[in-house]
Amino acid sequence: MRHLVFLLPALLLLLALPDTRGRYNDDFDDGEDIAEFDDNDFAEFEDVSEDPAVDVEKEPPPRAAPSSTPIEDDEDEATVENEDGQDEFEDADAQDQDMYSKYDNEEFEGYEKTNPSFKNTLIYREVPAHLQNSWESYYMEILMVTGLLAYIMNYIIGKNKNSRLAQAWFNSHRELLESNFALVGDDGTSKEATSTGKLNQENEHIYNLWCSGRVCCEGMLIQLKFLKRQDLLNVLARMMRPACDQVQVKVTLNDEDMDTFVFAVGSRKAMARLQKEMQDLSEFCGDKPKSGAKYGVPESLSILSEMGEVTDGVMDNKMVHYLTSHAEKIESIHFSDQFSGPKVMQEEGQPLKLPETKKTLLFTFNVPGMGNTSPKDMDSLLPLMNMVIYSIDKVRKLRLNREGKQKADRNRARVEENFLKQTHTQRQEAAQTRREEKKRAEKERIMNEEDPDRQRRLEEAAQRREQKKLEKKQMKMKQIKVKAM
């Protein structure tokens, strides 16, 4: 009974304490020696006797689960209470009794301490990431390194696949090439012209093969242009835009091996592109590509030709048969005696000289499989190589008749004239600048001459030359006038 009587005010006091403690947050943060506090800090505790009246209402509120810090609080309380006790000893005896009853820990079981202000003051600082020693702080590095490892794996796999494809191609074509060419495989560095018998690796995705030593041609360069399987970026890009491996064959001919004509056949897209890009096709084959259906080849192929006679001559039965049976593998076939590569854009606007031309047969084939090629697919390109050999022999035999030859010659003369006209102003300017340079150089020489006599003589010589030039010009003008009359 007596205990219960003491319990009530003790509980009320406890409820009051958090309020008081809240006011002294700074002081209690560090948990330092509380004895340092002034007596004045606890002046408010003197009004504790009035608080129970207020706190009576607070009492019914829960004294449910015991908090984990009752013992701590008790200690704080204890120290606080000591101070309080010291202050209030003089005050009232009844209060003393209340104070002492608090020190009994067992009485506070199940009592919920509502002094969160104390807990609030305990701030848990975040340890900076770079001082932590957990895996989480390295997630960026782990991610990046994983990406790099994936890239390296892809590089190795892609490189090996390309290498296997190249070897498979060469194995299936080796016999045909060796039976047609004296030199198969040359990298240009060895002293003797002996067949290396293997491909030149230019890149991880480009392989070259040079064959030479045959009638009707100078040489043949075969380029295996595979997809960039070794580059992960490229692999991902190809998922958006499918592409296929290509085999490019470039046969260079001697002057006597080919008559003068320009001809191309291939897929419609390729023909449209080549007509814009290639110097000779744009100049000599001005008309739009004709559909191949007129000549018995599939609709998907179109033809660019200098004149009808050329088309008729090239598209014989065997050629048509080749084109029809392998239409999907043919990207473009380009025969030209004026081949100079794609149009070159120069900074001055126009090249001053006509580009060098070479008699060439160009073949571009698509490897079936659209990227997912296997070494077995390389065998399907063998008939196309047969077509190449056949074309070389055919072009040698193909001769234009008289009319065709005249037309071809006229075309070439026309192209040259156009070129000269376009560059006329530029050539004039270039000549003018050259003349001015010469004059300036001469004048400088004269000025630099120390000897006055020599100076005078040089000046006179220059003057005489000028006079002669003027006279020549005047003569020319007179002649032109006379002719006009």
Partner 1 sequence: MTVNNMADPRRPNKIFRYKPPNTETNPTLEDPTPDYMNLLGMIFSMCGLMLKLKWCAWIAVYCSFISFANSRSSEDTKQMMSSFIISDISSTQRNPQM
Whose structure tokens read 């991902």?
Answer: 236
Residue 66 interacting with partner 1 (CB under 8 A): no
CA 37 to CA 31: how far, in whole Å? 12
- To partner 1, the closest distance from the beta carbon of 38 in angstroms equals 44
CA 379 to CA 164: how far, in whole Å? 13
Q: Where are the beta strands (DSSP E) in 202-341?
A: 206-214, 217-225, 246-252, 262-267, 290-291, 301-305, 330-339
Segment contacting partner 1 by CB under 8 A, of 176-184, 261-269, 372-380, 399-407:
176-184
- To partner 1, the closest distance from the beta carbon of 392 in angstroms equals 9
Q: What are the C-alpha distances in Å from 351 to residues 336, 342, 343?
A: 21, 13, 11
Helices 70-88 and 93-101 meet at what angle, rounded to 10?
Answer: 160
17 neighbors 84 (Cβ within 8 angstroms): no
Residue 188 interacting with partner 1 (CB under 8 A): yes
- To partner 1, the closest distance from the beta carbon of 18 in angstroms equals 41
Q: Which of 95, 115, 162, 180 binds partner 1 (CB under 8 A)?
A: 180
Whose structure tokens read 């070129």?
Answer: 419
Q: Which of 161, 214, 334, 407 binds partner 1 (CB under 8 A)?
A: 214
The footprint of partner 1 on residues 374-403 (CB under 8 A) is 386, 389-390, 393
Please tell me the total number of residues recorded for the chain in this structure: 485
Residue 342 interacting with partner 1 (CB under 8 A): yes
Opening angle at CA 201, ends 158 and 229, nearest 5: 15
Q: Which residues contact 423 (CB under 8 A, 6 or more apart)?
A: 350, 351, 352
250 neighbors 208 (Cβ within 8 angstroms): no
Residue 8 interacting with partner 1 (CB under 8 A): no
- To partner 1, the closest distance from the beta carbon of 182 in angstroms equals 4
Question: Measured from the CB atom, is 186 or 259 closer to partner 1?
Answer: 186
For the window 344-363, what string marks contact with partner 1 as x by the rule CB under 8 A? x-------------------
Segment contacting partner 1 by CB under 8 A, of 8-16, 94-102, 149-157, 289-297:
149-157
Question: Measured from the CB atom, is 176 or 327 closer to partner 1?
Answer: 176
Q: What are the C-alpha distances in Å from 148 to residues 124, 136, 139, 233, 423?
A: 38, 19, 14, 12, 53
Residue 228 interacting with partner 1 (CB under 8 A): yes
Q: Which of 140, 482, 484, 485 binds partner 1 (CB under 8 A)?
A: 140
Residue 153 interacting with partner 1 (CB under 8 A): no
Question: Which positions lie near partner 1, rule CB under 8 A?
Answer: 128, 130, 140, 144, 147-148, 151-152, 155, 175-176, 179-183, 186-188, 193, 201-204, 210, 212-216, 218-219, 221, 228, 230-233, 341-342, 344, 386, 389-390, 393
